[in-house]
Chain A
Amino acid sequence: MPHETDALTGLLLDEAAELGLAELCHACQVHADFVIRMVEEGLLVPRGRNPAQWRFPAVALHHARLALRLEQDLDVNLAGSALVIDLLEQLRQANQRIAILERQLDW
């Protein structure tokens, strides 16, 4: 186990963390146009009135990268990606519930 003081300390992107447009673009390696289209599609919901003021919740990073992969790998457009991301989240929650219930039944 590494010594506590030697370890790198990163920034935790939790519920309180926010990213600016430039940070999000750089992290996803996309142009701002792509992020703007995702906002227009309702796939990302930033705080702030215009792109210069936009602040994205940390989960936007996950959603933006997922939308990018879906577009590149499966040719899914942004409207389709928004739907897929919603459904994947519902699926994740449902699977989590199933795992909890199965554990209760499996003893």
Chain B
Amino acid sequence: MEFKDYYKILGLERDASQDEIKRAYRKLARKYHPDVSSEADAEARFKEVNEAYEVLKDPEKRAAYDQLGKNWQAGQDFRPPPDWDAGFEFSGGGFTEADARHFSDFFESLFGTGGPFGRHARYERGRGGGLRGEDHHARILISLEDAYQGASRRIQLQTPVMDAQGRPAVKPRSLDVRIPRGITAGQQIRLAGQGGGGMGGGPAGDLYLEIEFEPHPLYQIEGRDLYLTLPVTPWEAALGARVEVPTLAGRVNLTLPAGSQSGKKLRLKGKGLPGKPPGDQYVVLRIVNPPLDAGRARELYQRLAQEIPFNPRQQLEDYQGAA
């Protein structure tokens, strides 16, 4: 496994004060928090920052980490020396809000179960009480077509479990789930009894699946409404036309009104995602000019230029500026 330089991750010197550690963490946590960040690798970076802070904010863990020595380089192959943590006294509190399932093998090798830093509290909490298991949450990607017509899909989940040593871990499992017709992004499906196992005979918790749509090659989605950009020729836009347009329900004929401009939005009522009320499909026109080498295009453009008195920049020319 690779050595992790927690100081470097937080952008700190090894003699940083606890205040400096906290400030560096807060700044990076805001930058990479998956709920607020637009960085591409936000989730991975946030986990890394969190892991570094988990160690450096705790004087005991920091001291233990520091005594590994400062000659290790980030990414260097690492094995913890035998009895590396011998001689340290620990208050035994383990982690607070942090979730060790999200930390690296490097962290686990130093602070995982088995050593004085081991974490048990969360999973021992309900023993003996016949308590209901925890509710679990996951996000799944589905296609727009599945949402339109409903479907059954096999989904892969990483489920939190306890391993043989009583250590929190994740185990892959697959579930066949019915996707209800008309579901939209951000909505959730609650699967009763598919969450964490109960304790002492208690029932299992529920599993909440939050829906996200896969990017679609044709449509942009806003709630239940769909947006489709429709390329049209200049003469279709100018003279009006009847053109075929794809919808989720199949192809339909759409009448373009004469005198349409690029950007004009036409509505196909009820052709969006099903619901009460159903969404609409908006068709946005985009005028595409034929290339000049297509047939007599150049000649016809020149004729238009000569015969049509038209200045689309009139408003700009009338503007006098500050002069």
A73 adjacent to B284 (CB under 8 Å)? no
CB of B44 to closest CB in A, whole Å = 15
Contact of B97 with A7 in the complex, beta carbons under 8 Å = no
Interface size class of chain A, counting residues whose CB lies under 8 Å from the partner chain? 35 or more
A8 pairs with B175, CB closer than 8 A: yes
Number of interface residues of B (CB under 8 A): 50
Say whether, besides A10-B177, A10-B191, A14-B187, A1 and B152 are in contact (CB < 8 Å): yes
Residues facing B in A24-76 (CB within 8 A) are 26-27, 29, 58-59, 61-62, 65-66, 69-70, 72-75
Contact with B along A76-107 (1 / 0, CB 8 A): 00000000100010000000110110011001
Docked pose: A7 CA to B26 CA in angstroms: 43
Partner-binding segment picked from B5-13, B161-169, B178-186 = B178-186
Which residues of the other chain, A, contact B222 by a CB distance below 8 angstroms?
A: 96-97, 100
Do the beta carbons of B229 and A74 come within 8 Å of each other? no
Q: A11-B192, A27-B208, A107-B231 are in contact. Are A74 and B30 (CB under 8 A)?
A: yes
Q: Are B208 and A104 in contact (CB under 8 A)?
A: no
The CA of A96 and the CA of B137, in the complex, are separated in Å by: 24
18 contacts between A and B (CB under 8 A): A8-B191, A10-B191, A12-B189, A13-B188, A13-B208, A14-B184, A14-B187, A58-B187, A65-B137, A72-B97, A74-B30, A96-B222, A99-B220, A100-B220, A103-B220, A104-B284, A107-B231, A107-B288
Chain A residue nearest to B263 (CB atoms) is A104
A103 with B227: CB separation less than 8 A: yes
Which A residues fall within an 8 A CB radius of B? Answer: 1-4, 6-14, 26-27, 29, 58-59, 61-62, 65-66, 69-70, 72-75, 84, 88, 96-97, 99-100, 103-104, 107
Interchain CB contact under 8 A, A4 and B178: yes
From known contacts A11-B190, A14-B183, A99-B220, infer whether A29 and B36 are also in contact, taking CB-CB under 8 Å.
no
When chains A and B are docked, how far (Å) is the Cα of A26 from the Cα of B205? 9
Say yes or no: A73 contacts B33, CB within 8 Å. yes
Q: Is the CB of A1 within 8 A of B178?
A: no
B135 lies within 8 A of chain A by Cβ: yes
Q: Does B154 contact A (CB under 8 A)?
A: yes
